[in-house]
Structure 1
Amino acid sequence: MDMASSQIRLKILPSARCLFNNRVQIKVEGLAPHKPVELRSRLVDDRGVIFKAAAQYKADESGQVDVCRAPSLGGSYTGVEPMGLFWSLAPETPHTKFLKKNVLSPILVEIEALSGETGKLLASETNERGFMVEGMKRIPVETGRIRGVLFVPPGKGPFPGIVDMYTFGGGLTEPRASLLASNGFAVLALAYLGYKGLPKNPDSLDFEYFEEAVTYFRTQPEVKGPGIGIISISHSGCMAVAMSSFLSGISAVVCINGCVANTVLPLRYKDIVIPKLTPNVKNWKVTDSGLVDIRDSTPDPILEENRASLFPIERASCQFLFAVSEDDHNWNSALFAKRAAEILRNNGKDSFKVVTYPKAGHFLEVPYMPHCPSTFHAAVGRDVVFGGEPKVNSEAQLDLWEKVLEFFKSHLGNKRTASL
């Protein structure tokens, strides 16, 4: 076949439609041999923010670029990076975090091949990256005070259950919950601030709300007992530690860059009030670009003056997986995980694992989620540094996702194989 006269084609393999956390292969065929080609990717999130990446390639002797084999020679990343056009996507609007509100529609990633010499568009294709496998149910939950969304996998239940909570002020996020459900778990994405009538700026958090949510979830016919899992990140990590300390029926907790003590708001439970750790604003730093670095403002919770804010994690009877990013600039996650491990160990418990990611930032999301090094912080009221480098952050997200699935399968009794 005469490659010079053939049509240029951009292929997304094995299919242009896949789950958001799945890897694809991008190939361009029918190019002139050894000619430069630019590959571009673009998506628009639910806020209307455009995310873009671009990389320079050179066609091989057969007029082909296969990103699984060919190195990028420049642009958003360099070297052989099969998913580089996805993990290096960066917002056109600075300090913006990728937002996907509900997961009924896929994220559309446009991939284009352009001539490296003229800039002319040669071929394009769209990768539909979805969140729900066929037959999955997405059920909005508004029962009593509880607000959230329940995801139920296809097939005959009941399924091992997980409560998924996100960050302070984040309302509700569905991508992680839906992708966990794609792996055979019933998942309740639980909101606890500023969502569908939930208080936006309360003076304190009512812990009985979390207790009600766990009770509700455990009694759903789709949820297999006896215990459930919790996955959390940032402020919700504190809530997950509190839930495991005070509530029964919790078997496995994933705490991603969380804290072993109460933060941001006092927590009320029956006649107990757990004060918040008071941040030391004097320790804020301002970067050259005007962002706030708050990493060192949250104090060590085991110091005498802070101990009232500690949750009694030693009372927990679950297994813990603490994920720690060493370049987390939201707070010192490594120290907090160390403190949690010390308390558990000192109480004769070895029911925890700490996994550490050097150079990763605060937000460890599902695989191939665009990296967020800085954005608005609801508790600070300003744009802050969250840390991390895109490539290592992406690698950490991939690794952690596999560890999370394995952790929940082994401790919640789900024997299904993951559709990674």
Structure 2
Amino acid sequence: MEEMSSQVRLRLLPSARCLFDEPIQVKISRLKSRQVVTIKASSTDEKGVVFRSSATYRADGDGEIDLVRDASLNGSYVGVEPMGLLRTLTPNTLNTYFYKNKALEPHMVKFSVHDEEKHDRMLAEATNERLLMRDGVSRVPVKEGNFHGVLFIPPGEGPFPAVLDLCTFMSEKRASLLADKGFVVLAVPVFFEKPDISGKMHLDHYEEAVTFLKKLPQVGSKGVGVISRSKGGDIALSLAAFVPGIEAVVWINGCNANMGIPLFYKKRLILSPLMFNFSKVIPTDSGAKIIKYAIENPLDEKNKGSLVPVERAAGRFLFVASEDDLNWDSTAYVEAMVERLKRHGRSNFESVFYPAAGHLLEPPYGPFCPSALHGMLNFPVMWGGEPRTHAEVEVKLWKKIQEFLKTHLRCDDGHIKPRL
């Protein structure tokens, strides 16, 4: 071993193993006084795409660097940002999303320290294992009737509050991380395969998922919570309006009208589709398009049949809109829903608006994604968001979601079901 490199220490605190949504502290010690080094991070997603980031730091007089305290001088980000290396993980291809959707496999991030002066020689390395499931959470694939999904059950006896996670396409990330916090969560995708835009959607299939959750012996909440984003948002609103037993809905950057596909319930059409005008799509230099202005106005007379009658819902709503969402006009949709609820004398909602955040609000500490292939369209789209602010919003919102669901999905002790 060479004299210095064997000495340098790279520590991930409090532990190199943590949950995906927990921050870590990166500390480097035993460098030379004021030594300049580059810290690199890399991670491979579930499709085999490698994402990388790097930042240059100068050690203090004692040869130490602490990412919670010290500013990056240059690289993927500049300034003090303790989790900046994770936020800025980027692939070398444009319009690429970081796929981390399987709960059983941790998000592995490799950190390394390199000597600026000696041809980038590596001085130390460490791997951060970011788990989606804490110890004791169980994962059960479910295929029942007309729906399939994945169920996550926290450790312990319960009773637990129940949440349906309506992901647009199957992802276990948000559901497993919520189960870590003491919720029984069933992740059900809105689209099982490539969406059939010419077809029909049936609210009954999602109602089956709600009924399944309510019957679980571990569930203690009277009703079910629903968490949703994007296309999942209008399905969540429709469940709240037409299906009994929905106590709390988290709606993130969705629409106030039924998007794109006719919605049926009990064999009849309940909501006509709000359509797209492709001539209003705006191209950008990256090859990704802005589709925000291509969606017809849901408040136009001809689109009234697509508006979800949110005033019929008995449960509580948390409306979340990113003001820099380039996918939908989420802010306008929230304002329209709030106006509609007030007009009907309802006050069962709270709304939050986040300036400079984009469409893809996810659990915190994943790589920021500016643009990617749209699941329902066959071209990449811009999601929006100023990256650093967006990342800060994800941290705040994640706490808010948990508080909202805990508050409105109370488990009474009298509600414990007999064990089977």
Q: Distance in 2 between matches of 1:238 and 1:353?
A: 17
Q: Does 1:128 align with 2:129?
A: yes
Question: What one-letter code is carried by the residue in structure 1 that aligns with 2:259?
Answer: T
The answer for the alignment partner of 2:231 in structure 1 is: 235
Deviation at 1:395, TM superposition (A): 0.5
Specify which of 179, 199, 202 is matched with residue 181 of structure 1: 179
Question: What one-letter code is carried by the residue in structure 1 that aligns with 2:289?
Answer: V
Question: What one-letter code is carried by the residue in structure 2 that aligns with 1:145?
Answer: N
Deviation at 1:132, TM superposition (A): 0.9
* Contact in 2 for aligned 1:161/1:185 (Cα 8 Å): yes
Residues 364-379 of structure 1 correspond to what in structure 2 (within 5 A)?
364-379=361-376
Q: Distance in 2 between matches of 1:180 and 1:329?
A: 27
* Contact in 2 for aligned 1:257/1:324 (Cα 8 Å): yes
Q: Distance in 2 between matches of 1:407 and 1:203?
A: 35
The answer for the alignment partner of 1:261 in structure 2 is: 257
Q: Distance in 1 between matches of 2:103 and 2:196?
A: 23
Question: Which deviates the most, 107-116 or 271-280?
Answer: 271-280
Specify which of 245, 261, 282 is matched with residue 249 of structure 1: 245
Q: Distance in 1 between matches of 2:101 and 2:73?
A: 35
The answer for the alignment partner of 2:277 in structure 1 is: 280
Residues 210-225 of structure 1 correspond to what in structure 2 (within 5 A)?
210-225=206-221
Q: Distance in 1 between matches of 2:411 and 2:403?
A: 9
Residues 335 and 5 of structure 1: CA distance in aligned 2, closer, same or farther (over 3 Å) = closer
Q: Distance in 2 between matches of 1:24 and 1:288?
A: 36
Deviation at 1:90, TM superposition (A): 1.6
Unaligned stretches of 5+ residues in structure 2: 413-420
* Contact in 1 for aligned 2:222/2:411 (Cα 8 Å): no
Deviation at 1:379, TM superposition (A): 2.1
Give deviations 1:139-174, integer Å, cap 9, x for gaps: 00011222000000001122100000112xx2x101
Deviation at 1:4, TM superposition (A): 6.8
Q: Distance in 2 between matches of 1:316 and 1:101?
A: 31
Deviation at 1:242, TM superposition (A): 0.4
Q: Does 1:83 align with 2:83?
A: yes
Q: Distance in 2 between matches of 1:92 and 1:361?
A: 21
Q: Distance in 2 between matches of 1:99 and 1:4?
A: 38
Q: Distance in 1 between matches of 2:297 and 2:149?
A: 33
Residues 76-155 of structure 1 correspond to what in structure 2 (within 5 A)?
76-118=76-118, 119-155=120-156
Q: What secondary structure, in the 3-state scheme, does the structure 1 residue paired with 2:380 have? A: strand
Q: Distance in 1 between matches of 2:138 and 2:34?
A: 49
Deviation at 1:310, TM superposition (A): 0.5
Give deviations 1:101-127, integer Å, cap 9, x for gaps: 311121110001001212110000000
Give deviations 1:53-87, integer Å, cap 9, x for gaps: 11010011001111111100111111111111111
Deviation at 1:192, TM superposition (A): 3.2
Q: TM-score, normalised by structure 1?
A: 0.94
Q: Distance in 1 between matches of 2:333 and 2:314?
A: 19
Q: Distance in 2 between matches of 1:404 and 1:222?
A: 21
Q: Distance in 1 between matches of 2:141 and 2:319?
A: 29
* Contact in 2 for aligned 1:174/1:189 (Cα 8 Å): yes
Question: What one-letter code is carried by the residue in structure 1 that aligns with 2:23?
Answer: R
The answer for the alignment partner of 2:326 in structure 1 is: 329
Q: TM-score, normalised by structure 2?
A: 0.94
Q: What secondary structure, in the 3-state scheme, does the structure 2 residue paired with 1:187 have? A: strand
Q: Distance in 2 between matches of 1:303 and 1:71?
A: 50
Q: Distance in 1 between matches of 2:286 and 2:9?
A: 42
Q: Distance in 2 between matches of 1:144 and 1:4?
A: 63
Residues 65 and 263 of structure 1: CA distance in aligned 2, closer, same or farther (over 3 Å) = same
Q: Distance in 2 between matches of 1:125 and 1:88?
A: 18
Percent identity between matched residues is 43
Q: What secondary structure, in the 3-state scheme, does the structure 1 residue paired with 2:311 have? A: helix
Question: What one-letter code is carried by the residue in structure 2 that aligns with 1:11?
Answer: R
* Contact in 2 for aligned 1:6/1:30 (Cα 8 Å): no
Deviation at 1:300, TM superposition (A): 2.4
The answer for the alignment partner of 1:51 in structure 2 is: 51
Q: Distance in 1 between matches of 2:390 and 2:53?
A: 16
Question: What one-letter code is carried by the residue in structure 2 that aligns with 1:320?
Answer: F
Unaligned stretches of 5+ residues in structure 1: 416-420
Q: What secondary structure, in the 3-state scheme, does the structure 2 residue paired with 1:90 have? A: coil
Give deviations 1:372-407, integer Å, cap 9, x for gaps: 111111222101111112211100100100100110
The answer for the alignment partner of 1:418 in structure 2 is: none
Residues 414 and 51 of structure 1: CA distance in aligned 2, closer, same or farther (over 3 Å) = farther
Give deviations 1:326-363, integer Å, cap 9, x for gaps: 11111100001111111111111111111111111100
Residues 340 and 180 of structure 1: CA distance in aligned 2, closer, same or farther (over 3 Å) = same
Question: What one-letter code is carried by the residue in structure 2 that aligns with 1:56?
Answer: T
Question: Which deviates the most, 85-94 or 52-61?
Answer: 85-94
Q: Distance in 2 between matches of 1:20 and 1:336?
A: 31
Q: Distance in 2 between matches of 1:38 and 1:290?
A: 31
* Contact in 1 for aligned 2:277/2:295 (Cα 8 Å): yes
Q: Distance in 2 between matches of 1:16 and 1:302?
A: 51
The answer for the alignment partner of 2:291 in structure 1 is: 294
The answer for the alignment partner of 2:415 in structure 1 is: none
Q: What secondary structure, in the 3-state scheme, does the structure 2 residue paired with 1:134 have? A: coil
Q: Distance in 2 between matches of 1:187 and 1:219?
A: 13
* Contact in 2 for aligned 1:50/1:93 (Cα 8 Å): no
* Contact in 2 for aligned 1:43/1:110 (Cα 8 Å): yes
- State the number of aligned residues: 408
Question: What one-letter code is carried by the residue in structure 1 that aligns with 2:99?
Answer: L
Question: What one-letter code is carried by the residue in structure 1 that aligns with 2:36?
Answer: P
Residues 28-67 of structure 1 correspond to what in structure 2 (within 5 A)?
28-67=28-67
Residues 320 and 45 of structure 1: CA distance in aligned 2, closer, same or farther (over 3 Å) = same
